[in-house]
Structures are given as C-alpha cells and as structure tokens.
Amino acid sequence: MTGSADAQNRVTLMGTGVAGGTLVLTGVLAADGKSISNTTYTVNGGSCAFVKPADATSQAYADISGTYTGSFTDPDGDVIPVSASLTQNTTPDVNGNFQMSGTGTFGGGNNPCFVSPTPVHRRR
C-alpha cells in the first residue's frame, strides 16, 4: 500500500491486486501515529468492488516479545503457575503476519495433573 497524510492528518492509503480492483483506506491519523479513527475502506473496480465504503478500525499493537508469568486456578482452588517466554518476528511473513515462537511451562503447584513444570513449545 502507498499513501499520504495531509496537513489535517487525513490519511489515504491505496493498494492494488484485490481481484482486479484497488483497495482504498481513509481515516484520520492520531497525533501519536498509532491509530487511525473515522476509518473506512472500499474496493474500487474489479470483481470485488464495494457498492459503498465500509467502516473499519485500525490500531498499532506493540511487539509482544518478552517473559510473562502468572497462574491459573483449577476448580479445586489449586494454583497452577504459568510462565511463557515469547519472541515475535519484527518483519511480516508473505501473508502480512508477524510470526511468534516461544516456550512455556505449566505446573509446579498442587494440581496432580501438573505436579512438575510441563514444557510447551510451539512456533506459529
């Protein structure tokens, strides 16, 4: 997508390749640059053309890389400690997703199913 913002922070972004049409996103950029309000999007032309623009919401999210700790409480009231160490890629994949990987542990509390920490590994 390419686009610009005018002196009143009104943003227009355009991208091609939507079933022969052009995606157009418009809105007002927040002063901190982290969100766009009064946002609409439409597809002009092509086989997926919109009859009228649709409302949209946009928000910038912070990278979630880091270590997180907490706990779950089972139905018997036993506390199950939880820890996760996550890393998020800083660049998107070919689908525009920011892949994440990490490890975590569940357990170490009094729950008989999680007597010792159980490692969890997943990449997505």
Give residue 107's domain range.
66-119
Instruction: Point out the least confidently predicted range of 15-19, 37-41, 60-64.
Output: 60-64
pLDDT value at residue 123 = 54
- Based on the structure, what is the number of domains in the chain? 2
- 35 and 77 assigned to the same domain: no
Confidence of residue 118 (pLDDT cuts 50, 70, 90): low
Q: Is residue 124 part of a domain?
A: no
Long-range contacts (CB closer than 8 Å, 24 or more residues apart) made by 17-21: 18/43, 18/46, 18/48, 19/43, 19/46, 19/47, 19/48, 20/45, 20/46, 20/47, 20/48, 21/45, 21/46, 21/47, 21/48, 21/49
- 114 and 82 assigned to the same domain: yes
- 7 and 55 assigned to the same domain: yes
pLDDT value at residue 55 = 87
- 51 and 96 assigned to the same domain: no
- 9 and 49 assigned to the same domain: yes
For the whole model, what pTM was predicted? 0.51
Q: Is residue 48 part of a domain?
A: yes
pLDDT value at residue 98 = 84
pLDDT value at residue 28 = 93
Mind listing the pLDDT tens digit for each residue in 49-105? 888 888 887 777 778 889 988 887 777 787 778 888 888 888 888 887 888 888 887
Q: Is residue 41 part of a domain?
A: yes
pLDDT value at residue 10 = 92
